[in-house]
Chain A
Amino acid sequence: MRRWALPIAVAALLALAALVLVELLRPAAAPTPAEQAQQVAGDLRCPDCQALSVAESQTAAAAAIRRQIVEQLAAGSTPEQVRAYFVARYGEWILLVPTSPFAWWIPAAAVLLGIGGLAWWWRRGRATVAPVMQPVAGRAVREQIRDEVEQLDA
């Protein structure tokens, strides 16, 4: 029974992956104005709260900014232009995501360095590693061994 389980599982996974790929590559429907406004509002910081975005905040200042976002998008500005409009008035601080590329590269580099460091450390210790044993016994024998070990646990 288990013999064909793995190939089927792999096939199922690949099929799912293919479906996901097709879904992703399909030209996405353009976001509605409301969705666009929500997205821009989510990127701006509410000026008189702690760390909330304009989309989440309930303050009057946030409501005023949301109104302006909707107006400007309706008048034809791109999301980039709307963001720049607010940065010109409040400063970089109003953006919840820093614009500097360092903000993205540094954590990515840290993770990659970590993985690289791990690989290097592993290589270094490999010289004295004993070769991995291939399974010499079939499944039935292994199950029997497992049973006997359980019995030893007296």
Chain B
Amino acid sequence: MIPTLGHLAVVIGLAATVYAAGAFLLGGRSGDALVLTSARRAMYAAFGLVALACLAMVVSLLTHDFSVLYVARNNATTTPPFYSVISLWAALEGSILFWTLLATGWASLVLYRYRARLPALMPWVGATLALGTAFFFAVMAWPGDPFVRVTPIGLEGNGPNALLQNHPFMGLHPPLLYLGYTGMAIPFAFGMAALITRRTDEEWLAVVRRWTLVPWIFLTAGIVAGAWWSYAVLGWGGYWAWDPVENAALLPWLTATAFIHSSMVAERRGTLRTWTHALVIATFVLTLVGTFLTRSGVVNSVHSFTTSGIGAWFAFAILVTLGVALGLLIWRLPDLGDRRPPGAVVSRESAFLFNNVLFLGVTFAVLFGTLYPVLVEATTGAKASVGAPWFNRVNAPIFVALLFLTGVGPALPWGGASWATVLERFAVPILAGVGVVVAAWALGVQDAAPLGILGLATFVLVVMGDEVVRGARSRARSRGEAAPIAVLRLATRNRRRYGGYLAHVGICVMAVAIAVSATLGIDRTATLRQGESLAIGSYTLTYDQLVTEPLASDPRVIETRAELSLAGPQSGPIATALRDYPNSSTAIATPVVRTALGEDLYVTLLGYNSTAGTATIRVFINPLVMWIWAGGAIVALGALFAIWPDRRRAAVSAAVAARA
């Protein structure tokens, strides 16, 4: 009953979005308010319907309704409730259902928020969003029906994929990531509306900046959460493998970041408008490419959902979206002509433009590397691999250049400056950078990569610090405020700038943490007999015993635990395990991670011999890893600070509008 209702909700949702698209198009041309209201209501209804469908699926999962094929494949009677609920997005059809929920949610939010504003743009925004969500409803109605039934009904299900029921982050990473992905449809819709109505002035840019930053925050958080999760679960001690689906999440993030920077130039200088539009289109198309790569089976990945006919649908969606958007952009090119010339060569604009070139360079490299195997096979029939060594070698120099630019940008004023003024600003930061490099070298860091990144990060931090100090100092002088209050007031009066600074601080932290953890880690593998010890860094691990027993939370899973004693900066009992899941032919490693401020102790059980009583363990000391996650959080916080509504500014704008 419930699954049938779920399917019905999807079908009606499809009708609702198709109606909404038509009504928005009609209303857009005629201006009829009634038609437009009905279109909006249809979109709200679509959101309600897909929410019902999700509820139906969650209920089916919780009640282990194995008449539904999706439940039979991804759930079992012993699956804990938490993992049953989050199995909603664990596999192909469910993930599309979840995606549609978020997409219609964003659309409803935007349409509601602007229901009485921007009357020229909103019908076209609505039409674009309605068409986009209609596509996902169509996928669920035909090739990807989550509520397909199966007969005969089994007594037991397959259970979730072993890797997806190992760690609670399964409940965090996909929602954050999908919120980011689906949110990128909003700026795209505004971009299309601006092109269609030829209102390509700064009005749409001001709206779009906020609606890009919010999904950007989610995307950043989602990517970092994904890296953290794979680090904690996969057992190889790393957090980023340039896997095709990791790349798929990174690509729209890169173009969105480029857009955030170029839109500042477009807003202030009226230039780069074509480029900014192109970036908005590229970001959305790349989110579609991302879903295509994950679901089509075209590339091999940890994430690959089962191969299915859905791939062809997504391929069509990508081609149609790209074709229409590109065509529209080319058609309206005359409206997008630059109104003012670019600034001087030494200016913040030029730094932002260079930043864009570099970001797009990384985007191209990552896209090229991900699709290279497909390209090679399509042309020569041979199989090729492109792995982490290639991506690291190609992207590292570009990222280093970007880090350098992060320090240069804030020191350059808008419009232009002379070399003298600019170089003067860099004197102290350069000295600080060199000083830190020398100090780190003296303290024992001999590798080039962490030294270089430390120096650059210091340079960037001191440039920004200098800006803050100058501003606070003049404020303190002119108003007599104490220094800390001056900084606070300055920050809250210039949220965009200071939010940006905070985000850049987060980037510096991440850069240093990544450079250090990638080069200065140590690892050791050993097969231990009972009572034997392994020494690594300042820790000693002693192997006590092997325990095999079913998991308390899911008795179908048999866990073989190697219990060890830890001595060192942290001490006490520690256990690492291999778990045998009924639906997996190989045992899944469940590594244990002990995090401290300076380093992570990471232990994986590689194998064991019950009769001999030995255990083979691999131990890593990964320095500064927690700062990667902390840095990511700082970046997200910085962006949040930047878009936080400024009550004073709002009051001023309202006063101005009232007088007008």
| Residue ranges of A at the interface with B (Cβ–Cβ < 8 Å) | 2, 5-6, 8-10, 12-13, 15-16, 20, 42-43, 45, 50-53, 56-58, 91-98, 100, 103-104, 106-107, 110-111, 114-115, 117-118, 121-122, 125-129, 132-135, 143, 146-148, 150-151, 153
Contact = CB atoms under 8 A, between A and B. Distances in A.
23 contacts: A5-B431, A6-B427, A9-B427, A10-B430, A12-B435, A16-B434, A45-B387, A51-B242, A51-B243, A51-B388, A53-B389, A96-B389, A97-B387, A97-B389, A98-B386, A118-B354, A122-B345, A125-B342, A135-B418, A135-B420, A146-B474, A150-B474, A150-B478
Nearest to A149: B474
Interface string B290-306: 00000000001110000
B488 interface: no
Contacts of B604: 58
A143 B426 CA distance: 18
B12 interface: no
A117 B356 CA distance: 12
A75 B376 CA distance: 35
A44 B360 CA distance: 29
A110 B365 contact: yes
Given A6-B423, A12-B431, A50-B243, A128 B341 contact: yes
B385 A56 contact: no
Given A52-B241, A125-B338, A129-B341, A58 B300 contact: no
Contact of B236 (A57, A110, A143): A57
Given A16-B434, A93-B383, A111-B357, A51 B241 contact: yes
A132 B417 contact: yes
A97 B390 contact: yes
Interface string B197-227: 0000000000000000000000000000000
B416 interface: yes
B237 A56 contact: yes
Nearest to B451: A20
B82 interface: no
B238 interface: yes
Contacts of A92: 382-385
A12 B364 contact: no
Quick one: which of A8, A107, A117, A129 has the most chain B CB within 10 A?
A107
Contacts of B427: 2, 5-6, 8-9
Interface in B295-351: 300-302, 338, 341-346, 350
B594 interface: no
A95 B372 CA distance: 14
B421 interface: yes
B589 interface: yes
A6 B250 CA distance: 38
Given A9-B426, A98-B376, A132-B416, 20 more contacts: A6-B427, A8-B431, A9-B434, A10-B430, A13-B430, A51-B387, A53-B388, A56-B236, A58-B618, A96-B386, A103-B386, A110-B361, A114-B357, A122-B353, A129-B342, A129-B343, A133-B416, A143-B474, A146-B474, A150-B479
Contact of A132 (B301, B376, B418, B438): B418
Contacts of A97: 386-387, 389-390, 393
Contacts, number: 168
A147 B430 contact: no
Interface size class of B (residues with CB under 8 A): 35 or more
A52 B342 CA distance: 46
Contacts of A5: 424, 427-428, 431
B176 interface: no
Interface in B431-453: 431, 434-435, 437-438, 448
B487 to A, nearest CB: 13
B301 A107 contact: no
A118 B353 contact: yes
A interface SS class: helix
B637 interface: no
B386 A43 contact: no
Contacts of A147: 474, 477-478
Nearest to A115: B357
A15 B242 CA distance: 37
Contacts of B448: 20
Quick one: which of B428, B474, B618 has the most chain A CB within 10 A?
B474
B344 A132 contact: yes
List of 3 A-B pairs having minimum Cβ-Cβ separation, nearest first: A96-B387, A5-B427, A9-B430
Interface in B263-314: 271, 300-302
Contact of A107 (B343, B361, B383, B424): B361
B385 A45 contact: yes
B394 interface: yes
B112 interface: no
B235 interface: yes
Contacts of A9: 426-428, 430-431, 434
A96 B384 CA distance: 8
B384 A58 contact: no
Nearest to B386: A98
Given A91-B383, A98-B384, A56 B389 contact: no
Interface in B457-471: 470-471
Quick one: which of B385, B389, B618 has the most chain A CB within 10 A?
B385
Nearest to B435: A12
A91 B383 CA distance: 8
Contacts of B342: 121-122, 125-126, 129
A122 B393 CA distance: 30
A63 to B, nearest CB: 9
Contacts of B376: 98, 100
Contacts of B344: 129, 132
A118 to B, nearest CB: 5
A147 to B, nearest CB: 4
